[in-house]
Amino acid sequence: TPVSTAIIGAGIAGIACARALQAHGLPVRLFDKARGPGGRMSSRRLTEATVDLGAQFFSVRDPAFRREVKAWRQAGVVATWPEALWEASTSGWQRHQDGVERWTGVPRMSAVTRHMAEELEVVTDTRIECLEPEEQRWWLVDQHEERHGPFDRVVLAMPSPQARTLLQGHEPSLADECKAIIQRPCWAAWACFDAPLPSLPGVDDDWQAVRLAAATGQPATRDPLRFVSRNDSKPGRHGQGESLSLMARLEWSEEHLDLDDETAARRLLEAFREHLPSSVELPEPTSLGAHRWRYAQPDVFAGGEAVNLDHRRSPAGLALCGDGWRGPRVEDAWLSGHHLGEALAADAP
Ligand code: FAD
């Protein structure tokens, strides 16, 4: 029988790994604790609007990833966005031109991972709490103590602190690799409006996204906001109400991790107000909320791309992938999963 693989984590890294294995005819099953695939590329459908909770867009640099994105575009699940980025600082709002190609999911970010997972077996609402070895194979035990398996191989496709917990007692060398990668938290808020946003002097009315420059002269822990996007300006969402996604600075998030959702959202919206000219009145939101991402973004990695694949796999059949092994972006997560899947397929007996 062909080598069977369980992948824990149906974010883009786990899904990319699964697709590479499946393309080589190897059986694979994904598990995720959430209601659907997507991980940090997930979106929330509210009555007023659909908001992206994690990544707002992604850039493309690597040729293999570019080919993949081309296939997504042909399937209609991505489009380029934003057309222009703005940068807000004490000297006002400026258009930011850098020539980088940026894309987003259509009609929401989670459309990408949904599309990729269409032909994969994904077991959702299933949190894997421990791994049990048995005769060179692995059983997965979930939150209801139900056992899944056995599998020849298990890929942990999740942020390193979560992977480390599962590795405890099994694979000290891989657990140590996980320890070297710090995943920092991030608050991500949204606010919906039933009136259009006011015009800003010198800024296009249809501005799509703005990066907020770090405030000078005060510590980053007191500077809440780093990025704001208008969800209704994204492709495939025209006609829905005005809504903002507001991403917090990592330093501020670390310092304010214990806030409740509503307070975090209010603080981020207030910070956005402060970036508008005093003559401009932002309407009151009709609803707002926030998501606390505990493991949002890997910090500068010990090895970066140099983290050799061999350091992320064990002879006992365990392996690791995810953005943390490569870099802080969607592209890194995809490449990490794709390359691991190719390597595992290459040495399947
Ligand atoms: P994840 O997407 O985190 O997937 C891991 C999955 O594992 C999750 O679905 C989780 O539910 C599951 N899981 C964890 N533990 C278990 C368990 N025990 N059992 C079962 N399932 C489990 N990148 C960009 O390129 N551009 C951006 O603009 C951008 N903005 C971002 C903004 C925010 C707020 C955040 C949080 C991230 C952003 N990123 C951005 C980063 C990007 O989203 C990530 O790099 C990428 O999505 C990570 O994918 P992944 O598959 O490695 O991990």
- Which residues lie with the beta carbon below 6 Å from any ligand 1 atom? 8-14, 31-34, 39-41, 54-58, 127-128, 157-159, 162, 186, 188, 247, 293, 296-297, 322-323, 328-330, 333
Amino acid making up residue 46? L
| pLDDT tens-digit series, residues 181-198 | 889 999 999 999 998 899
pLDDT at res. 300: 62
43 or 91: whose pLDDT is higher? 43
- List strand residue ranges (DSSP E) for the chain, in order: 5-8, 28-31, 43-45, 50-52, 58-59, 78-80, 85-89, 92-96, 102-105, 121-123, 128-134, 137-142, 147-151, 153-156, 183-193, 209-212, 225-230, 242-248, 287-298, 318-320
Neighbours of 203 (CB within 10 A): 17
| pLDDT tens-digit series, residues 125-153 | 999 999 999 999 999 999 999 999 999 99
CA distance from start to end of the chain: 10
How many A from CA of 99 to the centre of ligand 1? 26
Reported confidence tier of residue 301, pLDDT bands at 50, 70, 90: low
Per-residue pLDDT at 296 exceeds 80: yes
Three-state DSSP state, 291: strand
Count of residues making up the chain: 349
Structure tokens at 342: 């190719």
| pLDDT tens-digit series, residues 202-245 | 999 889 999 999 888 888 888 899 999 999 999 999 889 999 99
Structure tokens at 276: 């508008």
Per-residue pLDDT at 307 exceeds 70: no
pLDDT at res. 33: 98
| CA-129 nearest atom, ligand 1 | 18
Per-residue pLDDT at 317 exceeds 90: yes
- Choice from 31, 123, 158, 162 to test ligand 1 binding pocket (greatest atom count within 8 A of CB): 158
152 CB-side CA count, 13 A? 13
278 or 297: whose pLDDT is higher? 297
User: What distance in Å separates the CA atoms of residue 340 and residue 347, rounded to the nearest whole number?
Assistant: 11
Share of the chain above pLDDT 70, in %: 97
Q: Is 163 exposed, middle or buried (0-12, 13-18, 19+ CB in 10 A)?
A: buried
| CA-247 nearest atom, ligand 1 | 34
| pLDDT tens-digit series, residues 156-167 | 999 999 999 999
Amino acid making up residue 40? R
Per-residue pLDDT at 305 exceeds 70: no
How many A from CA of 11 to the centre of ligand 1? 6
Share of the chain above pLDDT 90, in %: 79
Give 145's contacts (C-beta < 8 A, 6+ positions apart). Answer: none
Report all structural domains of the chain as residue ranges with CATH numbers, in order of start.
5-43+111-181+302-346 (3.50.50.60), 71-108+183-298 (3.90.660.10)
Give the alpha-carbon dihedral of 42, 45, 49, 51, to 10 degrees: -10
27 or 215: whose pLDDT is higher? 27
| CA-188 nearest atom, ligand 1 | 34
User: What distance in Å separates the CA atoms of residue 303 and residue 184, rounded to the nearest whole number?
Assistant: 17
Over range 305-327, report the average pLDDT. Answer: 83
pLDDT at res. 308: 67
Contact 109, 54 (CB under 8 A): yes
User: What distance in Å separates the CA atoms of residue 93 and residue 96, rounded to the nearest whole number?
Assistant: 9
How many A from CA of 40 to the centre of ligand 1? 3
